[in-house]
């Protein structure tokens, strides 16, 4: 077998430097249903490391959407914003209940 997946085992941090795109959508694993046991989900629970994942994504594009659990720490999300930049945090509802959060960076922010 050949290609990026075979060469790097599908590891985003390894393949990111070779990628170019207009937008990067990140949906990292949250650690299974255990994330719901916490009142506030810390980004430190993400694998790969969130700071490394965002740095790799920024090499591809400044336009990033980050899909996270509903109980994510908004304070930690704000810390991901580069100086002078903005972030938009969107709650995603299903049946009138917040199910997930999508965080937008770059030109994905609605004005």
Kindly report, residue by residue over 22-69, the tens digit of the pLDDT: 999 999 988 888 888 889 999 999 988 999 999 999 999 999 999 999
| Residue 36, number of CB atoms within 10 A of its CB | 12
Contacts of 106 (CB under 8 A, 6+ apart): 61, 62, 63, 64, 85
Instruction: Tell me what pLDDT residue 2 has.
Output: 46
Phi–psi pair at 70, nearest 5 degrees: -60, -25
Task: Let me know the angle formed at the C-alpha of 64 by 59 and 68, rounded to the nearest 5 degrees.
Answer: 125
- Indicate the average pLDDT of the chain: 90
Separation between Cα atoms, residue 81 and residue 42, nearest integer Å: 16
Separation between Cα atoms, residue 92 and residue 69, nearest integer Å: 10
Instruction: Write out pLDDT tens, residues 71-105.
Output: 999 999 999 999 999 999 999 999 999 999 999 99
Instruction: Tell me what pLDDT residue 101 has.
Output: 96
pLDDT for 7 beyond 60: no
Q: Coil, strand or helix: which one is 106? A: helix
Instruction: Write out pLDDT tens, residues 57-68.
Output: 999 999 999 999
Closest Cα partner for 66 from 83, 85, 93, 46?
46
Global pTM? 0.87
């Amino acid at each position: 077998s050949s290609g990026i997946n075979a060469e790097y085992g599908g590891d985003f941090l390894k393949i990111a430097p070779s990628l170019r795109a207009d937008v990067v959508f990140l949906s990292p694993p949250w650690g299974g249903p255990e994330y719901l046991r916490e009142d506030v989900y810390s980004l430190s629970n993400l694998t790969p490391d969130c700071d490394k994942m965002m740095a790799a994504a920024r090499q591809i594009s400044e336009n990033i959407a980050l899909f996270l659990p509903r109980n994510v720490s908004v304070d930690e999300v704000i810390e991901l914003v580069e100086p002078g930049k903005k972030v938009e945090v969107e709650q995603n509802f299903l049946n009138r209940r917040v199910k997930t959060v999508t965080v937008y960076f770059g030109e994905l922010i609605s004005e």
